[in-house]
Amino acid sequence: MRILITNDDGIEAPGIIKLAENAKKFGEVTVIAPATQSSAMSHHISLGLELDYRKFDFPVEGVEAYALAGTPADCIRAAFLGIVSKDKLPDVVFSGINNGSNCGYDIQYSATVGAAMEALLYEVPVICFSQACWEATLDHKNEFDPETDFMKVDKTVYTDVCDANIESITRELLAKKLPRGQAWNVNFPNCVPDLYKGILYDRFPSQRAFWDDIYTVITRPDGSRYVGMESYKIKPAEEGSDIRAIQDGYISIGIIKNKVMTNGEDY
């Protein structure tokens, strides 16, 4: 099995290294990833630009890797439309492991998901992997700070659950066939093993984001203006949703769909 990996945090991100280490257990792995951080790019592609492309000294033995000065969707598009020979095109695409969850409304903005949507156009199976961060930390380390009247938020990323389960989940999802135009979306909770509760399947995208964002127009002393944003963490999301699953300490597994493709035969 030939596996192509990309991400949106950049080719040097810890998550893509971990994903490549896991993918090696299932086949021949090639990484083509953005040279720099490319989060929240959605399905953005670069048109009419010269995108620098170089071989990258990737820290996983046996993995061939390349850094592209483009978006995650660019990486997939370039791979399938010319830079990978037709006899070596991937059988499956992995995107991630994203630094932060891709649930609810954030799916719309995610470049991890954007890469997956591009890969679906070439009718290959796709799995997105994301690791929840401090936006979804379970309250085992959060403490009230009487001096500031706010909670001290634990910003540690706990990858124990991901580390213990990613291989078995990968094996399971590779064995399952989805209809044309659909991809798996896996989100790992940010919690210590004692708070992990298991895996929830068929999670639907929450009808909100992890944050309620408020934009305001602010005037500088010189009279110029800018738009600033403040974010407020939401309360628990809807039962059955992807956000609610990781808020409660579960791995969330759901399906995301490419909106321009119609369902047809399995791959």
Of 33, 7, 11, 20, nearest to 170 (Cα)?
20
Please give the model's pTM, rounded to 2 decimal places: 0.91
pLDDT exceeding 70 applies to what percent of the chain?
91
pLDDT tens sequence across 118-156: 999 999 999 999 999 877 776 545 454 555 444 456 678
Q: Which domains does the chain have, with CATH numbers?
A: 2-257 (3.40.1210.10)
Q: Is 86 helix (H, G, I), strand (E, B) or coil?
A: helix
pLDDT tens sequence across 84-103: 999 999 999 999 999 999 99
pLDDT band at 232 (very low <50, low <70, confident <90, very high): confident
Of 173, 229, 168, 238, nearest to 201 (Cα)?
173
pLDDT at 231: 84
Token output for 61: 């033995």
CA 189 to CA 173: how far, in whole Å? 18
pLDDT at 152: 57
Q: Is 139 helix (H, G, I), strand (E, B) or coil?
A: coil
> Would you say residue 238 has pLDDT above 60?
yes
Q: What is the mean pLDDT of residues 228-244?
A: 90
pLDDT at 177: 92
Q: What is the mean pLDDT of residues 229-238?
A: 86
pLDDT at 149: 45
Query: Using an 8 Å Cβ cutoff, are 105 and 135 in contact?
Result: no
261 vs 206, higher pLDDT:
206
pLDDT tens sequence across 38-62: 999 999 999 999 999 999 999 999 9
Q: What is the mean pLDDT of residues 218-238?
A: 91
Residue in this structure with the two tokens 């994903």, named with its chain if needed: 19
Read off the amino acid at residue 228.
G
The residues with which 30 forms a beta bridge, in sequence order, are 4, 64
Query: Using an 8 Å Cβ cutoff, are 195 and 138 in contact?
Result: yes
